């Protein structure tokens, strides 16, 4: 039975060419060509083929017609988290992953990016699941808005634990999704963006927020 070798690699993350050929039904020659064509997502280490960018590979599979539901089963929240932090860093944001406050109130933000020049912070909630429904997205956005409000209310406690937050003047929420969301803004403060759009969104952040009517929360 022929199995998509890219799907196998996303599932196992590292396979030998022999294993990949046996599991997929493709020849070594075809597999080598496939790996070369996906050089940003895959790397050859001798006889091993290793996935070095799971989200890149996941997006390629979605673009090739694989069900987002199936793709979401093959990636983790940590894949999304690491990729979003990397994109933020490449756009000159200082990042904190798994920002967590436990007292006097508990809340957690997957990734916080702070532009220390402009003072804007982006609190990113990573949703790698495939539930691209208005109900699911609205519920996620509402919970995220509550986190932002806690961050503002308890800013002093957050700064004590994460000093970079002192450089943030305002914060907007981002719900980062696997596929293009059904709507873009919730309550004027939380914007919904697919992972494939995230880099371009950051490059033109102010213009994008102005166009969407996003108003970040003032932190002080």
DSSP 98: E
pLDDT surpasses 90 at 69: no
| Pairing relationship of beta strands 14-16 and 120-127 according to DSSP bridges | unpaired
pLDDT band per the 50, 70, 90 thresholds, residue 205:
very high
Average pLDDT value over all residues in the chain: 95
pLDDT band per the 50, 70, 90 thresholds, residue 128:
confident
Cβ neighbourhood burial of 171 (10 Å; 0-12, 13-18, 19+): buried
Gap between the Cα atoms of 110 and 108, Å rounded:
7
**pLDDT computed for residue 28 by the predictor:** 96
Gap between the Cα atoms of 129 and 172, Å rounded:
22
Gap between the Cα atoms of 53 and 58, Å rounded:
9
Q: What is the mean pLDDT of residues 25-34?
A: 96
pLDDT band per the 50, 70, 90 thresholds, residue 131:
confident
Gap between the Cα atoms of 220 and 212, Å rounded:
23
**pLDDT computed for residue 1 by the predictor:** 67
Predicted TM-score of the model (pTM): 0.88
Which of 67-76, 119-128, 183-192 shows the lowest per-residue confidence on average (mean pLDDT)?
A: 67-76
**pLDDT computed for residue 2 by the predictor:** 79
Percent of the chain with pLDDT over 90: 87
């Amino acid at each position: 039975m022929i199995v998509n070798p890219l799907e196998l690699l996303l599932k196992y993350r590292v396979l030998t060419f022999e294993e990949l050929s046996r599991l997929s039904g493709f020849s070594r020659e075809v597999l080598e060509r496939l790996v070369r064509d996906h050089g940003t997502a895959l790397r050859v280490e001798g006889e091993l083929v290793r996935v070095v960018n799971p989200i890149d590979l996941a997006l390629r599979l979605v673009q090739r017609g694989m069900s987002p539901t199936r793709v979401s089963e093959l990636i983790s929240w940590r894949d999304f988290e690491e990729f979003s932090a990397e994109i933020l860093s490449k756009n000159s944001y200082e990042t904190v992953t798994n920002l967590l406050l436990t007292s006097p109130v508990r809340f957690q933000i997957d990734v916080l990016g702070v532009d220390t020049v402009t003072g804007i912070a982006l609190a990113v909630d990573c949703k790698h699941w495939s539930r691209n429904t208005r109900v699911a997205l609205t519920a996620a956005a509402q919970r995220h808005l509550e986190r932002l409000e806690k961050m503002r209310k308890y800013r002093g406690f957050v700064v004590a634990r994460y000093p970079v937050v002192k450089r943030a003047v305002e914060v907007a929420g981002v719900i980062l999704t696997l596929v293009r969301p059904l709507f873009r803004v919730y309550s004027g403060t939380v914007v919904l963006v697919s992972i494939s759009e995230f880099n371009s969104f950051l490059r033109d952040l102010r213009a994008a927020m102005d166009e969407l009517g996003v108003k970040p929360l003032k932190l002080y």
